[in-house]
Amino acid sequence: MLLKRISVNLFLIFFIFLLTADACAARLPKIFPFKEKNALSEWQEKIFRGRVLYSVKAGKGTRYLRAYSENSASGIFYEIKFDPRQYPMISWQWTVLRFPAAQHELAGNAAGEHWIEKDDYAARLYVIFPRLSFNLTKCLEYVWDKDLPEGTIITSPYSGNIKLFVVESGTDNVGKWVFAERNILEDYKKAFGKEPGRVGAIAIMTDTDNTQSTAEANYKELKVGYKDEK
């Protein structure tokens, strides 16, 4: 009798947990147009080394997020939980105004030594896949790099759990808005060779702490978690 009551109570607790977990799932797609002045209020600032200036700016009939980094690395972080197997797409528009100092000319190539000293990008967008243990957390980073060719996938010098995808390359589109769209499910499989778990957060960062230089980039119309309609 007691065992039965305990089983029923445990089942109820589990059921309530499932309901709560489902209620916590984000309403998708989540769009960040960065048009309101207080658009950054729902984002958390994460400072790594020095503070990058993130602000909402207006110009040429549009509003956007501006990131200005001077020998610094900090990002903005937004918690969003969803299943990338159901909603695999993410898109955004970005433009780079100034790249960090020739990062891949500092010492050899991307696979060379001291690569950590060159790990700066004018613009990067993170998709973070948390796990039960923090050291198993995986991350996809979409970067705009001056030198590496588009489509390059590299492992971060900081951790094997961080894979960088070069989505935009070179200086041809400097100052122009460029649209980028990625299938995070496919990218995850390509990067880690298996299906992803749930997405836990996204982040944006423009950093110049390693190259001790200056970079400037703009972002807008970030759309997270929608189905591939192609």
Partner 1 sequence: MKNSITNMRKIKFINTPVQNKTLLLVFAAAVIPMAIVALCLYYLIFNMLAWQMGIPEMVAYNLIPVARKVNIILLVSLPIALLAIWLTALELSHRIAGPIYRLEKELDIMIAGKRQGPIKLRSRDELKALADKINKLMEKSK
| Cβ–Cβ < 8 Å for 183, 83 | no
Interface residues for partner 1 in 60-79 (CB under 8 A)? 73-75, 77
Of the candidates 214, 105, 90, which has an alpha carbon nearest to the alpha carbon of residue 140? 90
Of the candidates 149, 136, 137, which has an alpha carbon nearest to the alpha carbon of residue 110? 149
Q: Is 26 in the site for partner 1 (CB under 8 A)?
A: no
Which phi and psi angles does 146 have, rounded to 5°?
-75, -35
Q: Is 162 in the site for partner 1 (CB under 8 A)?
A: yes
Residues 76, 125: Cα–Cα separation, whole Å: 10
Answer for which of 16, 19, 46, 228 binds partner 1 (CB under 8 A) is 46
Answer for which of 203, 215, 222, 224 binds partner 1 (CB under 8 A) is 203
Interface residues for partner 1 in 163-192 (CB under 8 A)? none
Longest dimension (CA), the chain: 74
Of the pair 63, 117, the CB lying nearest partner 1 is at 117
Residues contacting partner 1: total by CB under 8 A: 26
Answer for which of 135, 172, 229, 230 binds partner 1 (CB under 8 A) is 135
* Six-digit token string for 48: 């790594």
The CA radius of gyration of the chain, in Å to the nearest whole number, is: 20
Binding site for partner 1 (CB under 8 A): 44, 46, 48, 73-75, 77, 119, 126, 128, 130, 132-135, 137, 139, 141, 156, 158-159, 161-162, 201, 203, 205
